[in-house]
């Protein structure tokens, strides 16, 4: 038991008040955006709690035309649900691919012996500091040329974005490798003595033991892909192909400022992702600190 | 591990033959692709794929390559989408690749070669007839309306074709196409060269007419073009990337050529680039350093408070504090963009109500920078908090107990116990965070897009632009895309990031071992 100072009670209360004030400051944007999404019109200013709430923006966000009391009908400005669906498709497929590649890679780095292993690991650690943003001209050019031979991997295709996200592997290899190294190797050796090939030892012994880290990597990679903006904004062009991250920007064009519509779309699309994150935060945080501390 | 490795080498099982067949099939398809790429002049890409094929085949066939089978796909992903783009970018930095010099020389030459001009002679209006899959054209001379010619039938075309025409007094078979339908097949008509009985030729000059036309340029030696009208010679200028005529005038479109260190010397000597570049470079360093500092201070403070046991409900505080990290950044940045809006933004409304001020967040350089830092601190402190919580847990409690007995204040605890104990493992993380903010394109692209603009800059540049967003705007902005210059600046950033990465590696090695 820690020795407690006498004025503890005041300190706790002071801290509590400070925390609540700080949290108000932090939560302000979220509260504001929820309130804005229920205001009518795109320019109307109002209080934190809207005086005459309207579901206008929510209808539009779900892609349903909204009919004003005076009979005029507003069409949804952007296909938000389609963008969300695009984002989910891209993220899901790229995450599965990342998981496949990084698990096998991490297995080799953790268990097998081969030349240049240490060099490869160091190279990957350095390379993960070079984000894809830095080579966008090359990535654009790469997919432009690739599209001449394989159309579904060309510019303005969801395939190209999915594949481009595979560059983010290096970090995940480090994470999974770290976890594999905590698992006792004797289990696999026992399997090998019984005649298992390295593949079988990996598939039937190591992999079932590593489900927790695979889940963490899945969520991390999924969230990273869904929030990725630069690569998608360069590769995707037509309105129906955009991902949510690229599309959302259309709302706040100075020429066509749709603050209210954006608010509803933002809450609608941000909520599921945030909830997934918060539900899994215990594991994500563990993964982040482990990965972070290891570099 | 010897036992495991040798167990995988049992050969002669039927599965091996299936695998070999599969590898051979994939190789064949890819080799076909390489040939196609090489044929169309994409040498770097052809070489890349060839390299992938050979290493891949070796890894999956050779026994020695067994261990590499597991790493190969991952390494492939890393090399194709990180290493190759890096090298390719450095390569582009030495060219004039841009929206005005987009195509290779051969393609530009082909564009010039396809140019035609109207030669004197009889022109014909035409009508199209369709019979099944085939079309026929009826030409009516504009000079002598009784003179009718009928073309031989032709179908769907993909390349320029010569079609004969003969004098005739009857109409073609099939049904006559309406003008609207004739327009539909104009992509075919444009490819036609109609050979007349008298030896002349016609091609399409307008939607309703065919007339005598000739190519402007004939091919000369060494990629030169000879103007068939006056004998002028166009020569490709391999330093500027344009065809030039006798008087030295450039004729577009330009082609891509290597221009040596031009892009780099532009960064150093062109005042319209050098000035903004230095300004942006300074701001990038300031921004990254301040972001790390602010997020660390708030993150560490919050971590200490959340870890403090007497404060009940720690879990709830922690959950709420992590919230900015849980919401995808592209959404929260755009929310801030709206909230900070000068006229409709809620923040200015509040400030106006309380203090009667309406700061110009997007048009005043200093305020814009302040806003960017505020938003980035809001976005980034939860990550620092998470890391700090992890590190704080590793400090043994008895240290604080001892200091409490000695009557130390919380501030003393922080500086004498907490910070000295966590600073070592924290340093690599801080360097990584610095590198992340150094390249934080998303924040700038979505929040300010660089606004307000720097006056007197040749390329679009703004006060809040980071080096990456500056590069991004040069390469993909609305005012002409200069990939060469962008790549030169990107090459500079590579060097910077390389240094940061090396420092990080050093720090990690030193503090974890």
A46-81 pLDDT tens trace: 666 677 788 888 888 888 888 888 878 888 888 988
A231 CA to centre of own chain: 14
A109-127 pLDDT tens trace: 988 888 888 888 888 888 8
CA separation for the pair B487, B495 (Å, rounded):
12
CA separation for the pair B26, B32 (Å, rounded):
10
Q: With beta carbons less than 8 A apart as the criterion, state whether A122 and B505 touch.
A: yes
Chain B contact for A66, CB < 8 A?
A: no
Length of chain A equals: 295
**Residue B158: partners with Cβ closer than 8 Å, 6 or more residues away:** B191
Say what the pLDDT of residue B244 is.
86
CA separation for the pair A78, A250 (Å, rounded):
8
What letter would DSSP give residue A5?
P
Q: What is the CA radius of gyration of chain A?
A: 25
**Banded model confidence at residue A87, pLDDT cuts 50, 70, 90:** very high
Say what the pLDDT of residue A46 is.
60
Nearest to B192 by CA among B172, B163, B155, B165: B163
Q: Do A12 and B317 touch (CB under 8 A)?
A: no
Q: With beta carbons less than 8 A apart as the criterion, state whether B376 and B446 touch.
A: no
Question: Which tokens hold the place of A223?
Answer: 């969230």
Q: Do B439 and A133 touch (CB under 8 A)?
A: yes
Interior angle at CA B62, CA B58 and CA B63, nearest 5: 150
CA separation for the pair A210, A206 (Å, rounded):
6
Which secondary structure element, helix H or strand E, spans residue A252, and what is its range?
strand A252-253
Residue with tokens 């319209």: B272
B226 CA to centre of own chain: 37
Say what the pLDDT of residue A286 is.
67
Q: Residue B129: what are its φ and ψ, rounded to 5°?
A: -120, 145
Three-state helix/strand/coil letters over chain A: CCCCCCCHHHHHHHHHHHHHHHHHHHHHHHHHHHHHHCCCCCCCCCCCCCCCCCCHHHHHHCCCCEECCCCCEECCCCCHHHHHHHHHHHHHHHHHHHHHHHHHHHHHHHHCCCCCHHHHHHHHHHHCCCCHHHHHHHHHHHHHHHHHHCHHHCCCCHHHHHHHHHHHHHHHHHHHHHHHHHCCCHHHHHHHHCCCCHHHHHHHHHHHHCHHHHHHHHHHHHHHHHCCCHHHHHHCCCHHHCCHHHHHHHHEECCEECHHHHHHHHHHHHHHHHHHHHHCHHHHHHHHHHHHHHC
Nearest to B212 by CA among B322, B83, B120, B317: B120
Say what the pLDDT of residue B278 is.
92
Q: With beta carbons less than 8 A apart as the criterion, state whether A198 and A104 touch.
A: no
- DSSP assignment of B266-320 equals HHHH-HHHHHHHHHHHHHHHHHHHHHHHHHHHHHHHHHHHHH-TTSS-HHHHHHH
Say what the pLDDT of residue B332 is.
93
CA distance B113 to chain A (A): 23
Q: How many other C-beta atoms can be found within 10 angstroms of the C-beta atom of residue B402?
A: 13
CA distance A168 to chain B (A): 7
**Which of B329, B442, B483 lies at the smallest CB-CB distance from A137?**
B483
Chain B contact for A99, CB < 8 A?
A: no
Predicted confidence pLDDT, tens digits, chain B (513 residues): 344 444 444 445 677 788 888 888 888 888 888 888 888 777 777 888 888 888 888 888 888 778 888 888 888 888 888 888 899 999 999 999 888 888 888 888 888 887 877 777 778 888 888 888 888 888 888 777 777 888 888 888 777 788 888 887 777 878 888 888 888 888 888 888 888 887 777 888 888 888 887 778 888 888 888 887 777 888 888 888 888 888 878 887 888 888 888 899 988 888 888 889 999 999 999 999 999 999 999 999 999 888 887 777 778 888 889 889 889 999 999 999 999 988 888 888 888 888 988 899 999 999 999 999 999 999 999 989 988 888 888 888 888 888 888 888 888 888 888 888 888 888 888 988 998 999 999 999 999 988 898 888 888 889 999 999 999 999 988 777 889 999 999 999 999 999 988 888 888 787 665
Q: How many other C-beta atoms can be found within 10 angstroms of the C-beta atom of residue B259?
A: 20
Chain B contact for A239, CB < 8 A?
A: no
A171-198 pLDDT tens trace: 888 888 888 888 888 888 888 888 888 8
Smallest CA–CA distance from B336 into chain A, residue: A29
Say what the pLDDT of residue A21 is.
93
Strand partners, B192: B161
- Sign for the pseudo-dihedral over CA of A290, B1, B5, B10: negative
- Residue B164 region by backbone torsions, left for phi larger than 0, else alpha for psi between -120 and 50, else beta: beta
Peptide bond into B452 cis (omega under 30): yes
A270-286 pLDDT tens trace: 888 888 888 887 777 76
Contacts of A181 in chain B (CB under 8 A): none
Question: Which tokens hold the place of A268?
Answer: 């609608």
Question: Which tokens hold the place of A295?
Answer: 């570099």
Nearest to B140 by CA among B153, B128, B127, B129: B127
CA distance B186 to chain A (A): 24
Q: Do B501 and A126 touch (CB under 8 A)?
A: yes
* A49 CB burial (10 A radius; 0-12, 13-18, 19+): exposed
Q: With beta carbons less than 8 A apart as the criterion, state whether A223 and A95 touch.
A: no
Asked if pLDDT for residue A235 goes beyond 90, the answer is yes
Say what the pLDDT of residue A91 is.
94
Q: With beta carbons less than 8 A apart as the criterion, state whether B473 and B387 touch.
A: no
Q: Choose the mutation target among B39, B331, B352, B446 for the interface with A, i.e. most A CBs under 10 Å.
A: B331
Say what the pLDDT of residue B417 is.
85
For residue B225, the SS3 value is strand
Q: At what angle do helices B84-92 and B43-61 cross, to 10 degrees?
A: 160
Question: Which tokens hold the place of B46?
Answer: 């052809």
Contacts of A38 in chain B (CB under 8 A): none
Which secondary structure element, helix H or strand E, spans residue B494, and what is its range?
helix B483-512
Mean pLDDT of A225-254: 90
Question: Which tokens hold the place of B205?
Answer: 């000059």
- Mean residue pLDDT of chain A comes to 84
Say what the pLDDT of residue B3 is.
40
Q: How many other C-beta atoms can be found within 10 angstroms of the C-beta atom of residue B211?
A: 18
The ipTM of this complex is 0.90
Which secondary structure element, helix H or strand E, spans residue A83, and what is its range?
helix A80-111
CA distance A142 to chain B (A): 8
Nearest to A105 by CA among A203, A168, A172, A182: A172
CA separation for the pair B400, B381 (Å, rounded):
25
CA separation for the pair B506, A109 (Å, rounded):
21
Say what the pLDDT of residue A5 is.
59
Most confident of the ranges A95-104, A284-293, B477-486: A95-104
Q: Do B490 and A199 touch (CB under 8 A)?
A: no
Q: With beta carbons less than 8 A apart as the criterion, state whether A217 and A172 touch.
A: yes
Beta-carbon pairs below 8 A across chains A and B: 300
Say what the pLDDT of residue B4 is.
41
Q: Do B82 and A170 touch (CB under 8 A)?
A: yes
CA separation for the pair B223, B105 (Å, rounded):
9
Q: From residue A167, give the alpha-carbon distance in Å to each of A98, B97, B302, B374, B505.
A: 9, 24, 34, 31, 20
**Banded model confidence at residue A290, pLDDT cuts 50, 70, 90:** low
Q: Choose the mutation target among A91, A115, A133 for the interface with B, i.e. most B CBs under 10 Å.
A: A133
What letter would DSSP give residue B128?
E
CA distance A225 to chain B (A): 10
Q: What does pTM read for this prediction?
A: 0.83
What letter would DSSP give residue A66?
E
**Residue A9: partners with Cβ closer than 8 Å, 6 or more residues away:** none
Mean pLDDT of A234-239: 91
């Amino acid at each position: 038991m820690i020795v407690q100072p006498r004025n503890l009670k005041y300190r706790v209360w002071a801290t509590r008040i400070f925390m609540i004030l700080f949290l108000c400051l932090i939560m302000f944007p979220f509260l504001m955006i929820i309130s804005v999404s229920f205001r009518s019109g795109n320019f109307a200013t109002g209080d934190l709690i809207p005086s005459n709430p309207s579901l206008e923006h929510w209808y539009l966000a779900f892609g349903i035309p909204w009919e004003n009391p005076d009979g005029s009908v507003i069409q949804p400005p952007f296909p938000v649900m389609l963008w969300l669906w695009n984002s989910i498709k891209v993220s899901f497929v790229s995450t599965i691919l990342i998981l496949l590649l990084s698990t096998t890679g991490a297995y080799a780095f953790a268990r097998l012996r081969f030349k240049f292993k240490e060099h490869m690991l160091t190279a990957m650690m350095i390379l993960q500091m070079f984000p894809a943003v830095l080579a966008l001209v090359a990535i654009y050019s790469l997919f432009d040329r690739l599209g001449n031979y394989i159309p579904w991997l060309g510019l303005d295709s969801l395939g190209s974005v999915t594949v481009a996200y595979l560059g983010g592997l290096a970090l995940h290899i480090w994470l999974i490798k770290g976890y594999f190294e905590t698992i006792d190797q004797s289990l696999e050796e026992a399997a090998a003595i019984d005649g298992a090939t390295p593949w079988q030892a990996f598939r039937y012994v190591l992999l079932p033991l590593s489900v927790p880290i695979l889940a963490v990597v899945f969520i991390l990679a999924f969230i990273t892909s869904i929030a990725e903006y630069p690569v998608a904004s360069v590769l995707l062009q037509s309105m129906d192909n955009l991902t949510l991250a690229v599309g959302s920007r259309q709302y706040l064009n100075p020429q066509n400022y749709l603050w209210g519509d954006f608010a509803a779309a933002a809450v609608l699309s941000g909520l599921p992702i945030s909830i997934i994150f918060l539900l899994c935060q215990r594991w994500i945080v563990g993964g982040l600190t482990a990965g972070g501390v290891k570099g | 591990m010897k036992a495991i490795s040798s167990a995988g080498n049992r050969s002669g099982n039927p599965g091996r033959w299936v695998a070999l067949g599969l590898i051979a099939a994939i190789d064949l398809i890819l080799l076909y692709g390489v040939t196609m790429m090489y044929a169309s002049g994409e040498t770097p890409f052809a070489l890349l794929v060839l390299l992938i094929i050979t290493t891949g085949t070796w890894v999956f066939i050779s026994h020695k390559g067994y261990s590499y089978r597991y790493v190969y796909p991952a390494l492939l992903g890393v090399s194709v989408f990180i290493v190759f783009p890096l090298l390719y970018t450095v390569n582009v930095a030495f060219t004039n690749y841009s929206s005005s010099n987009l195509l290779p020389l051969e393609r530009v030459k082909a564009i010039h070669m396809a140019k035609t001009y109207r030669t004197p002679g009889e022109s014909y209006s035409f009508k199209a007839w369709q019979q099944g899959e085939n079309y026929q054209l009826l030409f009516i001379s504009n000079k002598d309306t009784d003179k009718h010619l009928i073309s031989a039938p032709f179908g769907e075309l993909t390349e320029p074709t010569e079609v004969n025409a003969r004098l005739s007094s009857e109409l073609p078979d099939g049904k006559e196409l309406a003008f609207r339908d004739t327009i539909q097949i104009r992509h075919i008509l444009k490819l036609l060269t109609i050979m007349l009985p008298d030896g002349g030729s016609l091609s399409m000059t307008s939607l309703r007419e065919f007339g005598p036309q000739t190519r402007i340029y004939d091919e000369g030696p060494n990629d030169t073009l000879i103007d068939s009208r006056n004998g002028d010679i166009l020569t490709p200028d391999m330093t500027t990337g344009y065809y030039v005529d006798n008087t030295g005038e450039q004729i577009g479109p330009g082609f891509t050529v290597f221009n040596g260190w031009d892009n780099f010397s532009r960064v150093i000597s062109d005042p319209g680039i050098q000035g903004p570049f230095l300004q942006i470079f300074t701001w990038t360093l300031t921004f990254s350093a301040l972001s790390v500092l602010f997020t660390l201070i708030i993150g560490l403070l919050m971590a200490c408070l959340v870890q403090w046991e007497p404060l009940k409900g720690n879990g709830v505080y922690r959950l709420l504090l992590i919230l900015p990290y849980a919401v995808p950044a592209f959404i929260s940045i755009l929310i801030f963009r709206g909230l900070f809006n000068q006229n409709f933004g809620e923040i200015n409304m509040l400030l106006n109500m309380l203090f009667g001020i309406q700061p110009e967040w997007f048009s005043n350089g200093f305020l814009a920078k302040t806003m960017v830092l505020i938003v980035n601190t809001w976005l980034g402190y939860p990550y620092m908090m998470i890391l700090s919580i992890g590190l704080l847990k590793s400090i043994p409690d008895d240290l604080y107990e001892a200091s409490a007995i000695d009557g130390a204040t919380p501030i003393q605890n922080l500086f004498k116990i907490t910070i000295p104990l966590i600073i070592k493992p924290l340093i690599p993380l801080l360097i990584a965070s610095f590198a992340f903010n150094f390249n934080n394109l998303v924040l700038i692209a979505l929040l300010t897009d660089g606004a307000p603009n720097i006056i007197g800059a040749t390329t679009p540049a703004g006060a809040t632009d980071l080096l990456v967003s500056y590069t991004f705007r040069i390469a993909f902005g609305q005012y002409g895309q200069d990939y060469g210059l962008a790549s030169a600046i990107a090459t500079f950033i590579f060097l910077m990031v390389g240094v940061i990465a090396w420092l990080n590696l050093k720090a990690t090695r030193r503090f974890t071992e």
